[in-house]
Structure 1
């Protein structure tokens, strides 16, 4: 949801980090620049710009809330979940960090034609990575620990090979995250 607001400097990945860190739009709106710098990869200058833009979007956010749009990030690790009516729940959000990709930064490249083709979009695939406890990225960097290569993977494979990054195919990746796929 946060990504859809069009805050400059917050693409899909940054928006998801902000949403996961704060959990709700109310918490994002209440954050000052110092609190915003606690989000991974957000420096002081970017934090100030994000906080200012979020403040400017206040009326838009209010209209979304009034229209019934849910502004709570699902699956925020360590945040209490709101139990269903009549369900006491355990009061603890899912521990994403314990998933099969815990501690890994994953890049997915190429066309998925097998087990993962049903997920359709790159965004859906990257959300799978996050549900499995990993961090998703769109390009190979020094932080990348795993590259999932589909058909016509292109230059990312060469870059990952040169950097000594583990490269696996779509089927092996599907096996690695089978618990998430079958959930």
Structure 2
């Protein structure tokens, strides 16, 4: 993004790109490293792009056509980076993310109450998970809430006995994460 005059922001977003490379159509997911209203630095490109190529980029349901301004080719075995610039008249797919960053910082959270002896603060974030008892049983799909650095609160239709060993399964983007867990309270 060294060719543009607009300030850029370091932000990792999962975006989809598509176009033609070496005479063949392609599409894949890549990550932004920096974004601005006029372009982005993207990484993880598996296809050989050239300066001047026009490709498509999509974030959510927002699409735009961009021109490749520079490429750092990592060779056959590694993925490449590229700087892209919006074609004239194209909407900025990450405009909402840029607007969020321009908003004033949120008001500081109050300090935890003196009675709260927890080592890690709890965060009220609903998070979909799957629970499987390690000794067998049906897979339960539910939501974890009150997530902290050492665990989370999970509400189930049937209570699990204290000390029950579980496998917790959740997804981060396209990566499946499975981790052991133990019921601490019921």
Whichever of the two has the greater Rg, that structure is 2
Same fold (TM over 0.5): no
What's the TM-score, normalizing by structure 1?
Answer: 0.27
Greater strand proportion? 2
Q: Which has the higher contact order (CA 8 A, sep 6+)?
A: 1
Greater helix proportion? 1
What's the TM-score, normalizing by structure 2?
Answer: 0.27
